[in-house]
Chain A
């Protein structure tokens, strides 16, 4: 534990007007690029990193954290308002947010997303500040074998989202895994399914596939269904009951366990490198639905669905810094970008970071808490603005969204190939939706696929040809047992609800 005066000096460094302005600028940029489909906070951070060269180290980190935090909430805005998630981790937010918008309550839905996002974020920041060292030790204990078992467990929980037909759900998941195998295989380095496109050596790029299937497919569907084009994209009833435009304290408090569960899931997954916020969002959503007394109301505008997703995906951001600050290991691309910014400044990340840069780290903590407050405040302000933006005529809103998706994907992949992939997967997404296959299940399988394959290959390398070595990994065995239990429990529950019908 560092000296108290280091802590105070660090926090004092953070609380200056200059840093506050950088945080405000970061959150504004983050919320904007998160809300604009296609770019996303990681891309915005990557673009911003070289600019931080001229800033002081603390201002640079404050700015990047602002972008990251603002972006994760920003992604929820288009997901809720027009059903086109700006970031893949907001895809689960759309499941319950958009039905609320259709019922004329877009402000209620986006506000719930904002409150849950800030709640989850603050929770994981507090965990980071107070108990990051023991949590980092736990994360270190999670090796490839344990990560493999964890992903199996995640699949078993998320399987609850497959929808009515188990066969179609499994087919969608299998297709997602198949798409994840495109590119060099992790073991032999042989290119697979690239059909002469060298751009696909590293696999199908994540952003274009997610944006194509989730956002562009929806935009195309809405454009096709459009008649005339003078209608606003989102209609808010003129004489709206004020209770439908806000989230009451009772409603917020009613979601406390859901948000706590989401925040814990997000924090635990965030502390472990490589799993990511999309998986956390869906695991939290699926488990909230499992725990609910009324699971059938999910997907039809249940506030718990929004609370579960947003608390989990935002909790990942703070927790990603746990392995970074205590061990020097980045837990996500966002955290790796923070490392890049530090290295440009001549600060070496690593196990000695806390000792050598204690004051800077506490400055970072101060900046993170500041960013949460700013995120909340700017979100309140921004929501009104976005709600105005989407009440423009459909023809303008969706055409603009399509253009922005294209530009965003081009920016993030640096290549037209990304745009082709996006368009192809927009077609795939449209076909899947039309034939009743779950796009969401496809996207999760695609996102977890590469990590799943890599950790399987690593597990085989570590265990060698002797399966008995698995006994050295009790945590992994425990997770596998949980996965079996989750699958079994879900089967029982589904059968139960079927006989009830």
Chain B
């Protein structure tokens, strides 16, 4: 991993060293591959960024969907593509990191198979319950679960399940994780009383406003802007967090000018009003581009935190 960091550092230094007047231009259409199916929030965001890039730079930017395994299928293709700046992938950090940790030897790519370019935003993951539930925080949920011979709690991604297992391990809470496919499904099962609590990634905010749901904890590293009084899991005494970032990466070995040019174009597109508005509407969060080095660091740090989740 140290070698990877060193490479990133070197490349970054090179990128900075490139004089500003030498503007990079792709020699053909730039293919922006989205690791999820058409029509969802991620797809919409990717397409909006592609459209902004096209508008601002005049490049021919083509968005394409490559769904499968939360981005693994797409990054498999991007990792093997020619590093000429004409192939860029957009995915979510968590599923990629988990696959790297769990079955890294079987994956056709490694963490350093990519040049990281930008982050867009991160999902606002929270633990919620029905407004009339007889508890207000995770400790209350744990007590409820113990008193009732275990409580079903819904999750829709592996790290969320690991958080539940982590709470069980720490407190012997007997929570029963219930696998789900989407935030919508989880919220329905909470409202219908089929599960006692669930994870949610933004879709819950409207229900907080309407008074149907309450938030027990922020499951990310920080508190959320819309609920500044709700404590994070860490603040509640559980050293567990999940931070899914939406990010861009290209095949490793990009020429320095291509890397700088892409990063600059992405940064401008991400900062545009259209993308800001979309992220606020669809993800209930703010755009946050950490730049090439910040993105690479986010992924490297992510590996460490996922290992903690898996108890490695």
Contacts and interface: CB of A to CB of B under 8 A. Distances in A.
A142 interface: yes
A350 interface: yes
A250 B280 CA distance: 56
Contact of B64 (A50, A337, A414): A414
A251 B293 CA distance: 71
Given A351-B212, A454-B179, A140 B281 contact: no
B281 A198 contact: no
B44 A49 contact: yes
B122 interface: no
Given A323-B188, A329-B187, A351-B206, A340 B179 contact: no
Interface in A170-200: 184, 186-187, 189, 191, 198-200
Given A46-B39, A350-B209, 17 more contacts: A43-B38, A145-B194, A189-B98, A191-B69, A198-B68, A201-B70, A273-B184, A330-B184, A336-B40, A346-B277, A348-B206, A350-B206, A457-B179, A461-B178, A461-B179, A462-B176, A464-B152
Interface string A199-239: 11110000000000000000000000000000000000000
Contact of A461 (B72, B176, B181, B278): B176
B44 A144 contact: no
Interface residues of B, number: 53
Contacts of A377: none
Given A199-B68, A327-B191, A414-B67, A352 B150 contact: no
A273 B185 contact: yes
B140 interface: no
B72 A462 contact: no
Interface residues of A, number: 52
B207 interface: yes
12 contacts: A46-B38, A49-B44, A50-B48, A50-B51, A144-B189, A273-B185, A328-B187, A329-B184, A336-B40, A351-B210, A413-B67, A414-B65
A343 B281 contact: yes
A144 B206 CA distance: 23
A15 interface: no
Interface in A39-66: 43, 45-47, 49-50, 53
Contact of A350 (B51, B207, B277): B207
B82 interface: no
Contacts of B197: none
A415 interface: yes
A462 B151 CA distance: 8
A344 B282 contact: yes
B179 A140 contact: no
Interface in A296-347: 323, 327-330, 333, 336-337, 340, 343-344, 346
A393 interface: no
B192 A141 contact: yes
Contacts of B194: 143-145, 462
A274 interface: yes
Contacts of A466: 149
A458 interface: yes
A32 to B, nearest CB: 18
A142 B194 CA distance: 9
Contacts of A454: 179-181
Interface string B161-202: 000000000000000111111001101110111110000000
A349 interface: yes
A466 B41 CA distance: 38
A338 B123 CA distance: 21
Contacts of B187: 328-329
What are the 8 A-B residue pairs with the smallest beta carbon separation, nearest first? Answer: A201-B69, A350-B206, A143-B194, A46-B38, A461-B178, A46-B39, A414-B65, A140-B192
Interface of A: 43, 45-47, 49-50, 53, 140-145, 184, 186-187, 189, 191, 198-202, 273-274, 323, 327-330, 333, 336-337, 340, 343-344, 346, 348-352, 413-415, 454, 457-458, 461-462, 464, 466
A449 B108 CA distance: 29
Contacts of A458: 178-180
A222 B163 CA distance: 55
Interface in B271-286: 277-278, 281-282
A343 B41 contact: yes
A191 B106 CA distance: 11
Contact of A340 (B40, B73, B152): B40
B38 A462 contact: no
Given A329-B184, A350-B207, A464-B176, A198 B73 contact: yes
Contact of A50 (B44, B108, B189): B44
A337 B40 CA distance: 7
B155 to A, nearest CB: 10
Nearest to A145: B194
Nearest to B39: A46
A369 B278 CA distance: 30
B273 to A, nearest CB: 12
B66 interface: yes
A187 B179 contact: yes
B158 interface: yes
Contacts of A201: 68-70, 72-73
A344 B66 contact: no
Contacts of A343: 41, 44, 281-282
Contacts of B281: 343-344, 346, 348
A449 B192 CA distance: 24
A199 B158 CA distance: 19
Contacts of B51: 50
B300 interface: no
Contacts of B223: none
B47 A50 contact: yes
Nearest to B150: A464
B38 A273 contact: no
Contacts of B41: 340, 343
